[in-house]
Structure 1
Amino acid sequence: MTTTPTPPAPQPAAAPPPEALDAPDAQAAQAVQLQRLGLADPFRWLALGLRDVRAAPGIAVFYGLLFWGMAVVLGWVFRTRPEYSMSLACGCLLLGPFLAMGLYDTSRRRQAGLAPQLSESLTCWDRHLGSMAMLVLVLVVLELLWGRASLVVFAVFFHTGMPSTTGVLQATFNPQNGAFVAVYVAVGGVFAALVFSTTVVSIPMILDRDTDALTAGITSLRVVAGNTGVMLLWGALIAALVAVSLWFGGAPLLLAGPLLGHASWHAYRASVTPLPPAAE
């Protein structure tokens, strides 16, 4: 009598290693679905960001010192070459999100149940170099256009040459120069809105899903377009915290910088539907 051999029992799937965070399924990474946001969400992101700061204080201090250094340089340029202040401010807006990428990685690892490490946060970008380089190129173009537009505004309103620091302050608070202030703020606002709309979720999305820069940038614009009121509030909170920090010499950025970096990760996670769990 012939017996049919019994097939071997299937072995249980092994748990994914920590490196699986950096290798999401390519097909799932393209299935980007957005979530609706509420006006209370930005405050919740700040609360979650503060929790991440407390959980990894050493990493927060390291990046806080970098943000403070940016503020010191910005203040020095404003005192010595005020016509380049707007251009440098745009450069800070460009560099800030990339410094914050290490903070995004720290928050991501905490959400995955992994211990955050400074060494990992410093090298998290190298696995996404292609997408990051393309996004850098787009933002550099915006930064150059912003700087050129800023110089043009100064040249139009100050025919005798660029004003000193005192001249800039007098021009800003002089009621007779209302047209200059309005144009300067309008030009800066347009470029700031473009930078913010392009990067509000794109950089954490590249880190999380290893998607391309075009998909990440379009997703970021979609988030802003679909939740305009919430994103305006979020942008206003960011601007307010940065402005207050700069008003007090930049030292508050030791806390505000890491806080906003961690909170921006949670803004991304709230805006974009998370990837489904990997199939067993």
Structure 2
Amino acid sequence: MPTAMSDSSAPVTSAPVSAPVTLNPLRWPDPLRWLVLGARDMMAAPGVALFYGTWFWGMALLLGWVFQARPEYTMSFASGCLLVGPFLAMGLYDTSRRREQGLAPDLGESLTCWDRHLGSMGMLVLVLVVLELLWGRASLVVFAVFFNTGMPSTTGVVQAVFNPGNWQFVAVYLLVGSVFAALVFSSMVVSIPMILDRDTDALTAGIASMRVVVENPGVMLLWGLLITALVALSLFAWGAGLLVVGPVLGHASWHAYRAAVAAPTAPLAPAQAPQSAG
């Protein structure tokens, strides 16, 4: 009389588990190396760089107009630029990735690279929009506290910033801006390239990005200062420097991700239990 086969004789399989995110230690010279690699990518795809650089320049011109027309909203708009900029740079990340793979740069591909990651990108956008709104509200509160007679004009803002008697306003304004800028930077420094490269979820990418900053605080601080300094210098001459600085930083950010996050290893084949003897 045939007997039923024991369950123990069936192969044991495990559900696929995403590989854990492994970080690489960073060194002090790394940020300068990322900039060099970013410049090489820009020169290898000048058409793509010009397209995205023009958008960055347009954002700078719009920021200048906001500062002249409604100075109290300058920090709010600047925070929005910090939000839009990395997403706009996603096309530059894609171009750098194509070069790594030996493929020719393609503007069309760079424009549509995000459409395969809508879910993760949408969640990340939601989190960053909340941060942007909080940043904007905090900036308005600072203005309201120190200028209780009404929002100052552009000239009034400039005079307030350079007036030694208003050092408290300047200190609080910069402190608020620095806190929110650090939050945005920490959550995005490698998250968007990681989503593009691995199609991971927004939570995993955001946590990995913050881990990079926490585990390499000095190098990441240097990287953030370099980004800030280059962007600030590029704002002279009506922001035209962003035609070059924007694409270079976009490509360099891809190389920062590559350096900070180790490539995933291929998952091992699931083990199988030995077949029982008949």
Same fold (TM over 0.5): yes
Contact 1:29 1:209 in 2 (8 A): no
One-letter code aligned to 1:71:
A
Q: What SS does the corresponding residue of 1:37 show, helix, strand or coil?
A: coil
Of 93, 109, 134 in structure 2, the residue corresponding to residue 145 of structure 1 is 134
Query: Quick one: distance in 1 between partners of 2:63 and 2:29?
Result: 32
Of 19, 25, 49 in structure 2, the residue corresponding to residue 30 of structure 1 is 19
Identity %: 74
Count of residues in Structure 1 that have an aligned counterpart in Structure 2: 255
Residues 107-160 of structure 1: CA distance to partner in whole angstroms, max 9, x if unpaired?
A: 001101111100000000000000000000000000000000000000000011
**Which residue number in structure 2 is paired with residue 123 of structure 1?**
112
Of 147, 150, 154 in structure 2, the residue corresponding to residue 158 of structure 1 is 147
Contact 2:19 2:267 in 1 (8 A): no
Contact 1:28 1:275 in 2 (8 A): no
**Which residue number in structure 1 is paired with residue 93 of structure 2?**
104
Q: What SS does the corresponding residue of 1:247 show, helix, strand or coil?
A: coil
One-letter code aligned to 1:218:
I
One-letter code aligned to 2:136:
G
Query: Quick one: distance in 2 between partners of 1:60 and 1:276?
Result: 32
**Which residue number in structure 2 is paired with residue 73 of structure 1?**
62
Q: 1:214 to 1:156 in 2, by over 3 A?
A: same
Query: Quick one: distance in 1 between partners of 2:16 and 2:96?
Result: 24
Query: Quick one: distance in 2 between partners of 1:190 and 1:216?
Result: 21
One-letter code aligned to 1:30:
A
One-letter code aligned to 1:147:
G
Of 25, 40, 63 in structure 2, the residue corresponding to residue 51 of structure 1 is 40
Query: Quick one: distance in 2 between partners of 1:64 and 1:219?
Result: 28
Query: Quick one: distance in 2 between partners of 1:31 and 1:61?
Result: 37
Contact 1:29 1:275 in 2 (8 A): no
**Which residue number in structure 2 is paired with residue 253 of structure 1?**
242
**Match status 1:62 vs 2:61:** no
**Which residue number in structure 1 is paired with residue 166 of structure 2?**
177
**Match status 1:244 vs 2:233:** yes
**Match status 1:233 vs 2:222:** yes
One-letter code aligned to 1:266:
H
Query: Quick one: distance in 1 between partners of 2:206 and 2:40?
Result: 28
**Which residue number in structure 2 is paired with residue 10 of structure 1?**
none
**Match status 1:220 vs 2:214:** no
Contact 1:146 1:188 in 2 (8 A): yes
**Match status 1:83 vs 2:83:** no
**Match status 1:265 vs 2:250:** no
The CA deviation at 1:30 is 3.5
Give me the CA root mean square deviation. 1.5
Query: Quick one: distance in 1 between partners of 2:267 and 2:214?
Result: 30
Q: So what's the TM-score if we normalise by structure 2?
A: 0.89
Of 18, 22, 30 in structure 2, the residue corresponding to residue 41 of structure 1 is 30
Q: So what's the TM-score if we normalise by structure 1?
A: 0.89
The CA deviation at 1:275 is 2.5
Query: Quick one: distance in 1 between partners of 2:262 and 2:183?
Result: 23
One-letter code aligned to 2:98:
R
The CA deviation at 1:277 is 6.1
Contact 2:187 2:209 in 1 (8 A): yes
Residues 13-33 of structure 1: CA distance to partner in whole angstroms, max 9, x if unpaired?
A: xxxxxxxxxxxxx95753210
**Which residue number in structure 1 is paired with residue 196 of structure 2?**
207
Larger radius of gyration: 2
